[in-house]
Amino acid sequence: MITFFSDQHGLHAPADEIFRGERVPCFETPSRAEFVRERLQARGHLLRQPDQDSRAVLSQVHSPRYLGFLASAWDQWLALDPANGDRQPFPSVWPVRTLRSDIEPQNFVARLGLYSMDNGSPLVAGTWAAAKAGADAAACAAALLAAGERGVFCATRPPGHHAGADFMGGYCFLNNAAVAAQALRNQGAARVAVLDVDYHHGNGTQSIFYERADVLFVSLHGDPRTEYPFYLGHADETGEGAGAGFNLNLPLPAGSGVAAWFEALKAACRRIARHEAQALVVSLGLDAYAGDPISRFALQAGDFSRLGQRLARLGLPTVFVLEGGYAAAELGVNAVNVIEAFEQD
């Protein structure tokens, strides 16, 4: 399978994050992608660097104000104090509920809060370059599908599915799955489906397409009553306006076993088939793995081969976009199991 891998991913290498109120070493690290690269190369897969500029599609997925902030955030941070080059900025205030978000504050930390859903998505000097390269890969993958490829894998980081139209969160800055889906629509696919199999609900992708009927969003994930992102991902969220009926959430209790997970996958695939999609984007979170340090499902390495086989039976041109998965050493095996089973089925 053609695979895009950007060397720029390593520019985003935050030292630590705020996790459940404590400063801890960052779970989302460059080693995640490196383990995937090593496994791909060991299995004989050829890797390409992304060579398309995603800016035109990004402007359809994210707000101009947010993109402008994200592209310049590190320079703004340094302008406050050159010593900030050795510090990671974190938001400390957010415009919740009755507070206004239409006026951008002058205070940098307040602006950071305006564009953040949490304080667990640290920025560093290379964040924009790494995230932009991931979006470029998603645009490249969509172009290859439009040209006749059956499957393309974007082995990129940071992940993207928690990023909404105008906010970052959950280690995500630009929504690569949404970029791929929108690019496929631009290239003539009348209907696209996005399937998110990450342990954590893809709240950003849901919100971007929630009022649209041309892009179906389906997600199986840990129940948001106990699992991040907490405030979205419930079964009663089915879309609004033109998008009513085109959003399907399949939340599962933390600790659910393999049988329950694959039953949810069966329901997801049935809904995708009814959508009569012309292309599929898979937010390939691999944190349903039993050994993941921040997730609580029970899939083993062989179950990811089973996932790839089931997706292949949908018969759709498919973009796979790497999302979460924090058992870094096992990430490469699990990712390659999916894409090789997809190819071989």
Q: Which residues are catalytic?
A: 162
3-state secondary structure of 159: coil
Residue 59's CB: how many other CB atoms inside 10 A?
12
**Residue 110 Cα distances to 102, 105, 106, 161, 163, angstroms:** 13, 6, 8, 23, 18
Is residue 153 within 8 A of residue 2, CB to CB? The reply is yes
Distance between CA 245 and CA 275 in Å, rounded? 10
Q: What is the DSSP string of 116-143?
A: BS-S-----TTHHHHHHHHHHHHHHHHH
CB atoms within 10 A of CB 181: 33
> What DSSP line would sit under 46-86, residue for residue?
-EE---S--HHHHHHHS-HHHHHHHHHHHHHHHHH-GGGGG
